[in-house]
């Protein structure tokens, strides 16, 4: 055998035979395919787990039990201890008698004004004992004589604060002492309440004004309102005392 033939034989011996070539190629491809499939399966499982955890986090977000029962409307009790009251369209009109000129009034006029304000406050001043859950409410006010906690309906608290601000103004004009701490509380409380309600009613000038450039009074504006006296009666029927005073 020539040197060339021997060299070819050695080279051929070092190369894989035809069977090995056919066997190895699909083996390599299968390995890559298995790795790729495993990667996609792992990715899919991870995606599913992450999505499930995210969904569970949203679904299990702690909420007061009352909120899961219905959609709470603006200016309503979230604990559902106070019922919904029907709403109506009401046109604002100024009513005399609820304010006075502190430097130009009689004792009788001032007494009559206080009486008008007092008639807006139900017996019990809007304090009630809820029948349902209170888990979503702020801590109640302890009533020692009845050994129980009470809560106040906001609208009567607001009226009380408006009256105190007016009373504080009248006293300041007369150089009389006033409850400054209470007035500060009421000012801040009403600020937060007004911003919470964010009333978007569009208002114009007073309909009785002659000048077209008159100031905004609120009179003549049609507003969505609850029937105040329905709330008044409901609170009075559930009162925890007979105490009645606006201030």
Q: What angle do CA 217, 222, 223 make, to 5 degrees?
A: 100
Q: What angle do CA 230, 235, 236 make, to 5 degrees?
A: 100
Give the alpha-carbon dihedral of 132, 134, 140, 144, to 10 degrees. 50
Of 1-10, 24-33, 140-149, 159-168, the least confident: 1-10
What does the pLDDT read at residue 213?
Answer: 74
Mean pLDDT of 61-75: 58
DSSP string, 92-131: ----TTS---TTS--HHHHHHHHHHHHTTSPTTTTEE--S
The model's confidence at residue 38, banded by pLDDT at 50, 70 and 90, is: low
Question: Quick check: helix, strand or coil at residue 190?
Answer: helix
Mean pLDDT of 34-53: 67
What does the pLDDT read at residue 15?
Answer: 46
pLDDT in tens, 154-203: 999 999 999 999 999 999 999 999 899 999 999 999 999 999 999 999 99
What does the pLDDT read at residue 212?
Answer: 76
Q: How far from chain centre, in Å, is Cα 7?
A: 91
Q: Is 54 a residue whose pLDDT tops 70?
A: no
The model's confidence at residue 247, banded by pLDDT at 50, 70 and 90, is: confident
Question: How far is the CA of 120 from the CAs of 1, 9, 34, in angstroms?
Answer: 126, 116, 80
What does the pLDDT read at residue 53?
Answer: 62
The total of other beta-carbon atoms located within 10 Å of residue 20's CB is 10
pLDDT in tens, 204-235: 988 887 777 778 889 999 999 999 999 999 99
> What does pLDDT average to over the chain?
82
What does the pLDDT read at residue 178?
Answer: 86
- With a threshold of 0.85, does the pTM exceed it? no
What does the pLDDT read at residue 58?
Answer: 42
Name the residue with tokens 């801040």: 188
The model's confidence at residue 241, banded by pLDDT at 50, 70 and 90, is: confident
Question: How far is the CA of 87 from the CAs of 126, 154, 230, in angstroms?
Answer: 20, 17, 11
Task: Give 236 or 4, the one with higher predicted confidence.
Answer: 236
pLDDT in tens, 114-153: 999 999 999 999 999 898 999 899 999 888 777 889 999 9
What does the pLDDT read at residue 237?
Answer: 95
Phi/psi-derived region of residue 243, left when phi > 0, alpha when psi is between -120 and 50, beta in every other case:
beta
What does the pLDDT read at residue 227?
Answer: 95
């Amino acid at each position: 055998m020539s040197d060339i033939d021997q060299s070819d034989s050695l080279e051929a011996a070092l190369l894989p035979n035809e069977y090995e070539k056919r066997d190895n190629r699909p083996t390599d491809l299968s390995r890559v395919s298995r790795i790729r499939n495993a990667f996609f399966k792992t990715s899919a499982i991870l995606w599913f787990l992450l999505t499930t955890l995210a969904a569970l986090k949203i679904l299990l977000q702690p909420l007061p039990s009352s909120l899961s029962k219905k959609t709470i409307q603006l200016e309503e009790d979230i604990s559902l201890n106070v019922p919904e009251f029907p709403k109506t369209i009401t046109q604002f009109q100024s009513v005399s008698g609820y304010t006075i000129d502190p430097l130009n009034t009689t004792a009788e006029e001032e007494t009559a004004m206080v009486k008008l304000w007092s008639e807006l406050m139900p017996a019990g001043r809007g304090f009630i004992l809820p029948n349902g859950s209170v888990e979503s409410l702020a801590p109640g006010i302890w009533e020692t004589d009845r050994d129980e906690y009470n809560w106040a309906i906001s609208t009567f608290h607001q009226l009380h604060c408006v009256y105190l601000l007016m009373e504080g103004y009248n006293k300041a004009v007369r150089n009389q002492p006033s409850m400054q701490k209470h007035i500060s509380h009421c000012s801040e409380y009403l600020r937060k309440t007004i911003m919470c309600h964010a009333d978007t009613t569009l208002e114009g000038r007073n309909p009785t004004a002659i000048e077209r450039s008159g100031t905004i009074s609120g009179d003549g504006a049609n507003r969505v309102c609850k029937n105040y006296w329905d709330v008044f009666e409901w609170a009075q029927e559930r009162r925890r005392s007979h105490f009645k005073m606006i201030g």
